[in-house]
Amino acid sequence: MVEIDNLVKRYKELIALDHLKLTVEEGEIFGLLGPNGSGKTTAINCILALLYFDKGSVKVFGEEIQPSSYEIKKQIGVVLQNVAVFEELTVQENIDYFCGLYIRDKRRRKQYVEEAVAFSGLEDFRKFYPKKLSGGLLRRLNIACGIAHKPKLIIMDEPTVAVDPQSRNRILEGIQELNRKGATVIYTSHYMEEVEQICSRIAILDKGRCVASGTSEELKAMIKTGEKIHMEALGLQPFHLEEIKELRHVYQVDYREGMLEVRCSGGKHNLVHILDYFRKREIGFGRVYSELPTLNDVFLEITGKELRDSAE
């Protein structure tokens, strides 16, 4: 449905997109995950032909997109990072205005507006002006304006930034519902949890390049980290850490402020081996927990940086 091939976009000296290659298939919720400045918004703007690029091609519905590709653009719904609604129109009037850009038939438009109001949970706020809405409700209005005309492809650029948890969940569930009803979705975020929760495939961006792509499981299978075990343990000596590092599947051991973190590469029973070691050495320990790899681990292993560092 969307094919990006060798896309290069420069802002003077800065290369914002560096030979980016991506394919989004019909029916997917495709996640673009990357820290701030990794090129997500630039990629979206190129897909929408809102920006001229230096090299490469962007095809939407099988055709090269141009600024004047109105027939293609009619079938795309866009929710951009900055809320773009009219202050002098009410919630309902805003949705009606944006829907009216695409849907001329009055009856159908009325029905679509009603559906978008209900979909975004804005029934009680129809007559409100945007400045009276909370941040979360304003984002929901922004989304309603972008999707009311029932586009085939929906592009959302960080729609949950600065949104309260209740609105965030509602937005994420709404995106899944739109997808179940047939829309293909491209969703950008720097929140790995969100992307993992809703996206069927994910591309991880760093410095304008796609450093890895696949399902969340495929991405995690690419890296060495299989499990991270955390243990509260006081007074561990350097030789203990060396011995723990010799245990099966263990490849990295860190110990800070009484907290031991052991990274294991796949394998089963890692915790059992570590607990056996503690018993054998008669070392006491407190809280123990194990974590499966996250998309942050994937990003960290591939780029050497934390996804969250630059994001929060």
**Site residues, ligand ATP (CB under 6 A):** 11, 14, 16, 34, 36-42, 190
**Which CB atom, from 37 or from 56, has the smaller least distance to ligand ATP?**
37
Tell me, letter by letter, the H, E, C secondary structure of 113-128. HHHHHHHCCCHHHCCC
34 vs 77 by CB, closer to ligand ATP: 34
| Residue closer to ligand ATP, measured from CB, 96 or 206 | 206
> Which of 45, 3, 25 has the alpha carbon at shortest distance from 215?
25
Distance from first CA to last CA of the chain, Å, rounded? 32
From CA 160, how far away is CA 301, in angstroms rounded?
Answer: 27
Q: Is 49 left (phi over 0), alpha (psi -120 to 50) or beta?
A: left
Residue 184 to residue 32: CA distance in whole angstroms: 14
Closest CB to ligand ATP among 225 and 303? 303
Nearest CA to 5 out of 38, 41, 77, 53 is that of 53
- Least distance CB 32 / ligand ATP (angstroms): 8
Give min distance, CB of 16 to ligand ATP, in A.
4
- Measured from the CB atom, the residue of 159 and 226 that comes closer to ligand ATP is 159
Closest approach, Cβ 5 to ligand ATP, in A, equals: 18
Are 33 and 225 in contact by the 8 Å Cβ rule? The answer is: no
Closest approach of ligand ATP to the CB of residue 48, in Å: 13
- List the Cα angle 223/189/212 in 5-degree steps: 30
**Smallest gap, in angstroms, from Cβ of residue 299 to ligand ATP?**
13
